[in-house]
Each structure stands twice: as C-alpha cells, then as structure tokens.
C-alpha cells in the first residue's frame, strides 16, 4: 500500500497545499456595520433554546438581540480583500443570554449568512448558520441615495430564507448611545455538534466559548425601532414574539477573532 | 366592449395604481463608490462599436474606461432605502468616447448589473445591460478587514457573467487626483432600440443624450493598476485589448439623474 | 470624422460580430413543463390591466391563469444547450384574456423570470418581465424524490420576488384532460413601450400579437388546486383575488417562437 | 438556575420542536440525473488527497470521476417536494478510489453544491462541500430545446465557484453501457473533522463509510467526452490533470441514504 499523505488545510477539503480549504487558519479579521434591535420575549421561549448544561440568564432572561451585519473579512494574508467575492458577506442573527456555571454568556440561536466561507466559520465557532438573503441600508458620505450616521437617519434591514421574508426592521437614529446593546455583549457559549453517522445521537458535542480577540468600535447610536417577524414552515424566529422593544443601535466596528476555549466536552 | 382603462406606471407592467412598475418615475438618486480604470486599445476596436451616426472621438480615440460602481439608489419617495433589496446594486461598465455633429460624447458599450430595476433603468437610458456578478473592495472606518481611502490602499474589483470571470483588477492608491478620469466625463450618447416584432430591422431606434442632473464628489485618488480581461463565448470585452494603461481612479459620489434629450430619431 | 460602423446583433449590445447580443435572432426553441392554475377574479381587476385599445373579453372576463414554467431553450445554433447556464430558466406568469377589434387575445399582465436573456426576450415580445425566484416540482422516472405524471401526483410551485413569497400552489393530478386550460390559449396581445427620454409620455408604443410558430404537447392532466397569493409593496398579483378556482393543469410541451405581427402603432 | 431544555433536531439549530434543523432525520430520498466523466491523472496527485489511514487503490490508482448531478430530494415526510426550493439542488463532485485495510473505497475529494441543506448533509456524510454554480443539460420528451437520452444526444455540464469557471464538459451519447463508470462504485470512505476551537489540531476526526441504502437506475449510456479544467486561486481541481479520458456516462437514478458506519475514530 502506498503511504498516505500528510494533508493540510484548516478545514475541508484537505490537500497537499491546504489552498482549497473552505476557510483559512484564524485569526480572521472583520470590518463592518452592525444594526442591532433588542427586545423582550417570553423567557420560556428562550429557555427552550438552551440545551444542557445551559440555563436562563438571571437578569432579564427574555432579552433577545436581532442583529444585521454587513461585513468585509479576511485572513492574515489579506488576499481575500482583493478578490472581494471571497471577503464580503452579510448576515442576520439572533442572540440570547444564558448562564453556565454561574457566568453569563451570549448565545447565537439562529443565524443566516450568504457565503459558504461564512457557513464554515460558523461550523467552527458553533454558530448554527443557514443561507439567507439579508439587506441593510448603507451609510455613505453623499446623501443622494443614502443616510449618514446621525440624528434622523433611517436604516432598513430585511431577512429572508427559502424565498420567504422572515423579518424586517427600520431603525431611525435619535442620539449617540453609550452602549450598542447588552444581549450580545458577553463571550459566546456555543454547542458544536456532529451527529453520529449511524444515527445514535451525537458522535461529538462540545460546549465552547469564544469572543473577539480584539475589538474597535465607532460611536454607537440609538434610535426608534419598527420591527416585524414573519412565520415560515422551516424557521422559528417568529416564535420569539416581540413583547417589548428594548432599543435599537447602529455601530461600525472592526473585530479580530482568533479561536476560543473548550468549556465542556459533552460527547 | 368594456371601456379600457387608463393604466399608469413609468414602465411595465402598467396598472391602475402604477405601483408594480419595474422602475419609478425619475428623478433617480444615487450614492456610491466608483473604481475607474482607463486604458488605450486599438481605435479600430472602438470604431466597431459606434453605429451611425456616431464616429470616433478626435483625440485619443482608443481610450477606454472600465468602471466598477457599488450603488445605493432610490426614487424621490426614498422608500427603497428602507427595503434595501430594492436600492442596492453593483455594476461594471465599459465606456468609450465618440463624436456626433462635432461634439464629443461618452458612450457605454458594455454593462453588467445585478438587479432587475437596474436593467430597466438601463433600457430607458440606453445602457446595454446584462446581468453579471460584480464585486469591489469597500473602504471602511476600521482597518481590520478593509482599506481606507488614502495612499497605499488597495482595492480589488471583479466581473463575471455566465459563470465566467470576465475581468479583474487591483487599484493601489498613490495620491489625490484632480480628475476621476476623462473617458466617462461627457454626456452619454446612447442608442435606444426595439427590434421589429416581425423581424424587419428595428421598430424604434433613437439616439439620445443624457447626463447627471446634479453631481457631488469627494476627493478623487489615482494609483497603480493591475488589470486582466478574460474571453467568453458571449462577451467581447476582451477584444478591447489593453495596449497601455492610462490610469486608475477611486472616488465616492452622489448623483441625480432626471432624463435626457433626443438627439436624433433613427427609426 | 471616421466613418461609423455597421454594427450587428439582434438586440443590444450591438458589435461588429453580433456575438455579444443579449439574445440571438429568432426563431427560439423551448422544451419545458407547464403548471397552470386558472381561477376567476373580479373582472374590474382585469379591466384595470387592459389599456386602450383593449377591452375585457366577452365571455368569462374575470378568468386568470397563473402559470409556472420550467424551460430549456436555445437558438437555431443549439449552442446554448451545451452551456446550459445560457439555456435553462424558470418563470411564473399571469395571463388574462382581452378583446381587440372583436377578437379575443390572451395577455400576460405580470411575469417573473430568473435569467437576463429571458428578460430581453420579454422586452421584444411585450412580456413585462421582472426577476423572481420560481420553483416547481419536477417529475422524474424514479420516485424516491419525485412524482411521476399520473393520478395522485402532487406538484408544488412557488414564486418570490424582492425576498418576499408572492404565491404558492399545490396541484394534485386527478385525471387526463382534454385541455391545458383556456386562458392562455389565444394569440398574445402585448404592448411594447419605451418611455420618452425627456419624460413626455412614451417615445414608442405598439400593440403587437404573437403566438408560437409551432407547438407540440404531451397528455395534459388536470387536478385539485391549493393556491395562495401574498401581498407585496411592489407587486399587485394579490389584487387579483381568487374568487373561484376553475382548474389546474400539468403538461410537458415543446414550442418554437418566431416573431409576431404589429396590430397597431400607438406612438 | 432554570433547568435547561431537551432540545431536538437532527442537526443545528436545535429547538423545542426540531422544526428549524437545517436537515431532517435520515433517511433521505433522491431522484436525479448523473453525468459522469472518468479519466486518469498522475496517481501522485490522488495520493496527496488521501490522509492516513488511507492509501491508493491497488488497481488504476490514478482514476478520477468528475460527476454532475441534478437532484430532487426529500425526507420521509416528502413535504420538501411541495416547496421545491427545499428539495431541488445541483452538484458537481470529484471522486477517487482509495484503500483501507485491504478494501477499496470511493472517496469524494472535492464537491460543490447550491443549497445550504446540501452543505449540511455533506457535513454529516463527510463530503467537503462548498457552494458553486453547476449546470447540466436536461433531457426532455420534446426535442425543441432539449436532447433525449439516446445515440447522438449531447449533454453539456459546467461548474463555477467564486465567479470563476472551474470545469466544463460535453458528453455525446453513443450507445447503452453496462456500467455507469467504476470510480464512484464503492462505499464512500470519508473523514469527518472538526478543528479544535483553541487551534490545537482537530477536536474530532472520524473515518466513516457510507453507501446508498437502496438504489434504482435506468439504462446507462456511454459516449464521447470533451472536458476542460480551469485553474483558480482557491481550488485544486485543475491539479488533477487529465492524462487520458476513460469514458463518459449518463444515467437517471433513484437513491435512498440512511446513515453509515464508523470505520475508525482518529481523534
């Protein structure tokens, strides 16, 4: 038998060069705009999304953040920035908080992206990524067809998947804000899972934590929110009904992600 | 026979309300970023793209501009900005100059866009729009995954159609520039055509001129250009071979378009 | 001034070779599967979509056909069939009937497609085409993941545009049918329009008629219909409310289209 | 601390109902058309893609199959068939053979699909799926715009990813064939991997085997092949150079997949 090879590559497909890997080695670098809407839903709906060993956060356990992000991202080589089909992507995601061993974590319970490299990064980080179609208004220095970040600026955001609109929102900025919301402000506690190939539960399940390795952000703004969620046979976002809007936020940020830590190996 | 209706709408489909029209009434408002590369090709290749009554421009007749644009646009209602699937689009287009009755005009000879409303606006304005996939690096205030407009910043731009790459370019900014190029600087002279339904030439053909009704622009930058064109069975961009690069430019702009004028009715 | 060229190409962009034209010369050849749902709406809603000189059909003037089609198409060269990104497309369209000079015509009032060549063919033929996302169940010789045309087979069909679901339907076949419906059975009477570049109404408007140059069809089937229409800020399909379902039909067909005739030049 | 929930769902995201899972429980059912091209490349290029504990197949170790598939698929509920955006997808994939403990297996080394549920099924089955754009000529009962399976029929197939064409092929059928090729004829031996969240190699790696739980196929045809591979900065398909074409095949099939077996837990 021929000796087998030492294939390389951070993730699949692994080859002699590693060049084909759907994602490069971390660290990963991101510049983008975040539109965040926070609201309260029935905490029972949040609890249903927290498998063991997680529980509801102690304070404000029904708080939900629905976040749209318009990203440009790259690896250390920065080569993706010059072939931007490989660096630009959009996403919308839903974050709740949870408790693990007395600590509060954020947790992404639903997320949609529009590129495969983003799905693969999500696999690694424990974000439950599906494909969707997300759009959010962009600010621009010239006002003919764009708002500029400041009082009165209106930003729209929409989310669709499976050819159905799942959510749309309008955020009208009112004033600078000391925060960009609180729901997505903790380290993320995510399950990474791999179902058993023979159908016996999971072959692998691990609770991991991760956070940005570094972060920069511009002035956050807060404003008035108009939010609508729509039902779909394959999605449960609309089950997180909007009982009360907490706030809406807009912020431009730069982030580096460089791995996380294992909290607990479950399988 | 029942009396027929007075349907309304700027373009098709026309209905009682006009709400379904693929495009709203002008004026149309645009904010966006332009990445322009100018080069010289054999003037014979340009002449082939200038039907009567147009001729080659007198000076520098082989000059070509290949322009990428990343737009957000809307009508007077600005409602499209809040449902941005209806306002954001990208395009790449090829502009040459031509002469008509002693005047120099710009003329778009090839163009690809990624939304249907952009195709319909092009029908009206005489831009020969096809669908394509265009990407260009975006500047952002945070540098983790983005350049910032200034010396040394590198912007990539790519164009594909029919699942084939047609062009890619890298522009590395060097210094501020007094111009954003000269090829796309004149009013546009475009043919609008409608082939005869019975196959006898054209049922309608008109040479029209149009330009922006108003224009604002930031500081233009110029830089070094790396440009590659690729062949395709259904496209002729690569026939406009790059004999000599003239320059590359980057500029953020705001534009209003509000109709044009008929130069000559040909059919 | 250099002499201008004789550019060629059926439609834009015209070049020395004509190779870049978004669509080739007719005749155009089509093979595909049609899923048709016919229903009655308020005839006033149909009348609103019939501009002069058209009026309502005398019999059953509120009849509407909502048709999904899954096509493979080509020019006489058949070269598109070997690069099928250029030959396959899907569409959904709404047909009513109308009266012109005592004759009954069919008329497409709304239509969505998923390729640019289909949009351009629609421009020529007077179909008011927008981009959409259409899906319809495909029959297949093996039943693991597909119905086979016959009693009990269920076919789903969906339509979305602008990231919103506009319609979905299920047709469950019951028995062979002598017809494939009657609403789309006449020559099409379509307006072809070009708004004036200076904003003064239309520069060109013509009422044309066309029909298939030849047609072949398999056994039509009829069945039970479940149909839902959804509202959208940019579409008026849902205004054609379903008062009564007439029938549903499934048929595989082959069609040739080779031009039409002018009924009346309006502008 | 509130008791955590028992979430359900075959794969992520897990919820109280399991309805949101990106993929349902197996078994999964498929009906589709396969266009297969087999050729020989340098066995060293194949060996590079076989990590431990796999080795080259003993016979014809440089044999490669490049396969396009046009699928409709569903779960046991068959509900996806009536919302076909959830059941139809296309893929192109590259299969080689390998040896493990004296047995010959097939192994998918590269694969591109166009839906997220297909990516997730690939994660489970160990297929290294990326997003791509695949097209293959469809047969149809009416010949206006389609071939019919039989002598002389020509089928085109194309593959693109990242806005670059990676492969295109034309298969012209010549005669019925006893086989549909041999490279993809063994059980699949795939690595399933999960990189460690802290960057220390893999947290999970398992070699699994799987095959169809049941299979039906129509008459296979063989024919003449024209195949071209194109380079890309992010793909290595073109490194599997075509030294000699073995054959081309076309077959319609129905398949059920219902899990596999673990060969070896590596991490």
Give chains near D: 3+ CB pairs under 8 A: A, B, C
Flag whether residue C178 sits within 8 Å of chain A, measured between CB atoms.
no
pLDDT at site A191: 98
Kindly list the partner chains of chain B, i.e. chains with 3 or more CB atom pairs below 8 Å: A, C, D
**Contact across the interface for B47 and C2, Cβ inside 8 Å:** yes
For residue C5, name the pLDDT band (cuts at 50, 70, 90): low
Task: Return the residue matching tokens 């890997």.
Answer: A21
For C95-152, the pLDDT digits (tens) are 999 999 999 999 999 999 999 999 999 999 999 999 999 999 999 999 999 999 999 9
Contact C232/D at CB under 8 A: no
Residue C3's pLDDT is what?
45
* Angstrom distance (rounded) from CA D113 to CA B134: 21
Contact in structure between A73 and A91 (CB atoms under 8 Å): no
Q: What is the pLDDT of residues D192-218, one digit of tens each?
A: 999 999 999 999 999 999 999 999 999
Residue-level pLDDT at A228: 98
C-alpha distances (whole Å) from C249 to each of C174, C194, D115, D207 are 10, 35, 29, 49
Q: How far is D98 from chain B (nearest CA, A)?
A: 32
D239-256 confidence digits (pLDDT tens) = 999 999 999 999 999 999
**Interface predicted TM-score (ipTM) of this complex, two decimals:** 0.96
CA-based nearest residue to A220, from A261, A178, A248, A255:
A178
Q: Which residues of D touch C72 (CB under 8 A)?
A: 137-138, 140, 145-146
| Chain C residues touching D253 at Cβ < 8 A | 142
Residue of chain C with shortest Cα separation from D160? C85
How far apart are the CA of A48 and the nearest CA of chain C, in angstroms? Answer: 29
Res D135 pLDDT > 50? yes
When the pLDDT of each residue in chain C is averaged and rounded to a whole number, the result is 97
- Which of B10, B25, B116 faces C130 most closely, judged by CB atoms? B116
List, as one string, the DSSP characters of D11-65. Answer: SSSPBSS-TT-SSPPSPEEEEEEEEEEEEE--HHHHHTT-BTT-EE-SSSTTEEE
Q: How confident is the model at residue D6 (pLDDT cuts 50, 70, 90)?
A: confident
* B17 interfaces chain C, CB cutoff of 8 Å: yes
Q: Which residue of B has its CA nearest to C113?
A: B116
Per DSSP, the three-state class of C118 is helix
Determine contact: C163 vs chain D, CB below 8 A: no
Residue contact A158–C163, C-beta within 8 A: yes
Provide, as residue numbers in chain C, all residues whose Cβ is less than 8 Å from the Cβ of D142. 31, 216-218, 252-254
Work out the minimum CA distance from B70 to partner chain C, whole angstroms. Answer: 19
Tokens 């100018």, located at residue:
B38
Q: Which residue of A has its CA nearest to C231?
A: A165
Would you say A168 and A228 are in contact if contact means Cβ atoms under 8 Å apart?
yes
N-term to C-term CA, chain C: 34
CB pairs under 8 A between C and D: 136
Q: Kindly report the nearest CA distance between residue A132 and chain C, in angstroms.
A: 10
A182 at B interface, C-beta within 8 A? no
- What is the pLDDT at residue D4? 52
Neighbours of chain A (3+ CB pairs under 8 A): B, C, D
Cβ separation C160–A163 shorter than 8 A: yes
User: Would you call the peptide bond into D27 cis, given omega within 30 degrees of 0 as the criterion?
Assistant: yes
Q: Residues D69-83: pLDDT tens digits?
A: 999 999 999 999 999
> What is the pLDDT, as a whole number, of residue D1?
38
The answer to whether D133 contacts chain B (CB < 8 Å) is yes
* Contacts for B98 with CB less than 8 Å, ≥ 6 apart: B50, B54, B55, B56, B57, B104, B105, B106, B107, B189
Residues of C with Cβ-Cβ distance to B125 under 8 angstroms: 197
Mean pLDDT of chain D: 97
State residue B2's pLDDT score.
43
- Using a CB–CB cutoff of 8 Å, tell me whether B73 touches chain A: yes
Residue D72 to residue C145, Cβ atoms within 8 A: yes
Q: Which residues of A touch B29 (CB under 8 A)?
A: 144-145
The answer to whether D87 contacts chain A (CB < 8 Å) is: no
Say if the Cβ atoms of A84 and B137 lie within 8 Å: yes
| C208 in contact with B, Cβ within 8 Å | yes
Q: Which of D165, D195, D39, D189 is nearest to D109 (CA)?
A: D189
Running along chain A, 267 residues long, what does each successive block of 10 average in pLDDT? 70 97 98 98 98 96 98 98 98 98 98 98 98 98 98 98 98 98 98 97 98 97 98 98 98 98 97
Interface with chain B: mutation pick from D163, D228, D234, highest number of B CBs within 10 Å: D163
The confidence band for B263, taking pLDDT boundaries of 50, 70 and 90, is very high
- What are the DSSP E strand ranges found in chain D? 28-40, 55-56, 63-74, 88-100, 103-113, 129-131, 133-136, 154-161, 164-177, 188-195, 202-217, 220-229, 244-265
Contact between residue C248 and residue C37 where contact means Cβ atoms under 8 Å apart: yes
Band (pLDDT 50/70/90 cuts) for residue B6 is: confident
Quick one: pLDDT band at residue B3, thresholds 50, 70, 90?
Answer: very low
Q: Which of D44, A254, D66, A217 minimizes the C-alpha distance to B144?
A: A254
Is residue D191 scored above 90 in pLDDT? Answer: yes
Q: With beta carbons under 8 A apart, name residues in chain A contacting C160.
A: 160, 163-164
- pLDDT tens digits for range B149-179: 999 999 999 999 999 999 999 999 999 999 9
**Residue of C24, C121, C146 to mutate for D, most D C-beta atoms under 10 A:** C146
Q: Tell me the C-alpha distance between B179 and B54, whole Å.
A: 26
Measured distance CA(C15)–CA(C6) in Å, rounded: 8
The answer to whether C21 faces chain D, any CB pair under 8 Å, is: no
Is some CB atom of chain A closer than 8 A to the CB atom of C164? yes
Chain B touched by C55 (CB under 8 Å): yes
The encoded tokens of residue C198 equal: 């200076």
Mutate to test the interface with D, among A4, A28, A236 (most CBs of D within 10 A): A4
* Backbone dihedral angles phi then psi of residue D118, each to the nearest 5 degrees: -70, -35
CB-CB under 8 Å, B84 with A144: no
CB-CB contact of C222 with C177 (8 Å): yes
Does residue D136 have a cis bond before it (omega within 30 degrees)?
no
- Using the Cβ of B84 and the Cβ atoms of chain A, whether some distance falls under 8 Å is answered with yes
CA nearest D159 in B: which residue?
B163
CB contacts < 8 Å between A and D, how many? 204
Q: How confident is the model at residue B1 (pLDDT cuts 50, 70, 90)?
A: very low
Give the range among A3-7, C214-218, D91-95, D248-252 with minimum mean pLDDT.
A3-7
Q: Are strands B28-40 and B244-265 parallel, antiparallel or unpaired?
A: antiparallel
With an 8 Å Cβ cutoff, is D48 touching chain A? yes
pLDDT value of residue C6: 78
pLDDT digits (tens, 9 = 90+) for A101-125: 999 999 999 999 999 999 999 999 9
Q: What's the pLDDT band for D5 if we cut at 50, 70, 90?
A: low
Residue of chain B whose alpha carbon sits nearest to that of D158: B163
């Amino acid at each position: 038998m021929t000796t087998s090879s030492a294939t390389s590559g951070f993730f699949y497909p692994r080859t002699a060069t590693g060049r084909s890997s759907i994602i490069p080695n971390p660290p990963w670098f991101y510049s983008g705009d975040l539109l965040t809407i926070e609201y309260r839903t029935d905490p029972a709906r949040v609890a249903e999304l927290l498998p063991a060993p997680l529980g509801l956060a102690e304070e404000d356990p029904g708080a939900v953040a629905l976040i749209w992000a318009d990203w440009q991202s790259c690896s250390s080589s920065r080569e993706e920035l010059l072939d931007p089909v490989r660096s630009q992507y959009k996403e919308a995601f839903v974050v709740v908080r949870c408790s693990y061993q007395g600590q509060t974590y954020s947790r992404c319970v639903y997320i949609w992206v529009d590129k495969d490299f983003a799905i693969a990064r999500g696999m690694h980080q424990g974000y439950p990524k599906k494909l969707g179609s997300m759009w959010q208004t962009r600010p621009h220095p010239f006002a003919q067809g764009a708002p500029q970040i400041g009082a009165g600026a209106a930003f729209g955001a929409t989310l669709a998947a499976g050819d159905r609109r799942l959510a749309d929102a309008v955020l009208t900025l009112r004033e600078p804000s000391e925060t960009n919301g609180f729901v997505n402000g903790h380290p993320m506690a995510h399950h990474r899972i791999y179902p058993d190939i023979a159908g016996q539960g999971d072959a692998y399940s691990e609770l991991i934590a991760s956070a940005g390795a570094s972060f920069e952000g511009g002035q956050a703004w807060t404003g008035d929110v108009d939010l609508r969620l729509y039902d779909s046979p394959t999605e449960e976002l609309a089950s997180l009904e909007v009982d009360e809007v907490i706030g809406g936020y807009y912020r431009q940020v730069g982030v580096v992600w460089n791995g996380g830590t294992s909290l607990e190996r479950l399988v």
